[in-house]
């Protein structure tokens, strides 16, 4: 199975900050990486797929990058609605595994 | 508008069974691969099961193999998860999730339902 290690598990930030979340796969997942945002009490929401493709309607302040085993989600200027938990997921090979999550808090 | 509405959760004793349902609307279910993903209380997301658009392929996380069965009835616009021999550790919010193919032919989750809560306890 492919293990996904996400870091940090939590971070404190302020509105306007640049935020970076990392995700490392135990094997090369060949860009098959998605990022999800989950607000408290809500279902996850797709932000990015295929490492860097922005889902329709997602603000351009979200950027995904990476290759091989190392991937990154960047929020260029944190907005109040961005305080949430973020998960990476590899969909290269079943079982499709998630990272442990990163809680972005103020 | 794409909607996925789960139902069938509840309180069940260890060793018991439940069948979760997911009713899809706003899209043609038969064209999409589907998944179940769960989230334990205060925990992260765990992918549970997948079924291809034509039911030809199914996959399960190791912890549920032999106990859970995913199936679909496209005529009823519905996805199901039959859960048998439930354990305490199966307690979670279960999400139904639609998958899209990317340009490389890999299937990623793009839409989620709101979930149905399963509690396994004596």
Q: Is-contact A47 A37, C-beta < 8 A?
A: yes
* pLDDT tens digits for range A39-87: 999 999 999 999 999 999 999 999 999 999 999 999 999 999 999 999 9
* pLDDT tens digits for range B5-54: 999 999 999 999 999 999 999 999 999 999 999 999 999 999 999 999 99
Q: Do A34 and B113 touch (CB under 8 A)?
A: no
Which B-chain residues 21-50 have CB contacts (< 8 A) with chain A?
Answer: 35, 37, 44-47, 50
Q: Cα A74–A77–A83 angle (5° rounding)?
A: 80
Percent of chain A whose pLDDT exceeds 90: 100
Q: Which CA distances in Å does B63 have to A18, B18, B47, B48?
A: 38, 17, 11, 9
Residue from B118, B5, B115, B23 nearest B68 by CA = B118
Q: Provide mean pLDDT across the span B44-68.
A: 97
Question: How much is the pLDDT for A3?
Answer: 97
- DSSP β-ladder status, A70-75 and B18-25: unpaired
Task: At B69, list the tokens.
Answer: 């069965």
Closest approach of A104 to chain B, Cα-based (Å): 14
Burial of A65: CB neighbours in 10 Å, binned 0-12, 13-18, 19+? middle
Closest approach of B22 to chain A, Cα-based (Å): 15
DSSP B32: S
Mean pLDDT score of chain A, rounded to an integer?
A: 97
d(CA B8, CA B32): 22
Residue from B117, B15, B19, B107 nearest B58 by CA = B107
Question: How much is the pLDDT for A35?
Answer: 98
Question: How much is the pLDDT for B46?
Answer: 98
Q: Is-contact A97 A6, C-beta < 8 A?
A: no
């Amino acid at each position: 199975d492919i293990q996904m290690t996400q870091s940090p598990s939590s971070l404190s930030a302020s509105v306007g900050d640049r935020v970076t979340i990392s995700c490392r796969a135990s094997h090369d997942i060949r860009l098959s990486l998605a990022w999800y945002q989950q607000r408290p009490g809500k279902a996850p929401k797709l932000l990015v797929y295929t490492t860097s493709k922005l889902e329709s309607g997602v603000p351009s302040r979200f950027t995904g990058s990476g290759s091989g085993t190392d991937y990154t989600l960047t929020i260029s200027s944190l907005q109040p609605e961005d305080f949430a938990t973020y998960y990476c997921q590899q969909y290269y090979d079943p079982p499709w595994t998630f990272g442990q999550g990163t809680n972005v808090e103020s | 508008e794409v909607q996925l509405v789960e139902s069938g959760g509840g309180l069940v004793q260890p060793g018991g069974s439940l069948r979760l349902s997911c009713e899809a609307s706003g899209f043609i279910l038969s064209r999409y691969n589907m998944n179940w993903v769960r989230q334990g209380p205060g925990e992260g997301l765990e992918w549970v099961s997948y079924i291809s658009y034509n039911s030809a392929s199914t996959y399960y996380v190791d912890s549920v193999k032999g106990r859970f069965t995913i199936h679909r009835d496209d005529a009823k616009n519905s996805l199901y998860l039959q859960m048998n021999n439930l354990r305490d550790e199966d307690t979670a919010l279960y999400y139904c999730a639609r998958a899209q193919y990317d340009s490389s032919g890999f299937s990623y989750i793009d839409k989620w339902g709101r979930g149905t809560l399963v509690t396994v306890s004596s």
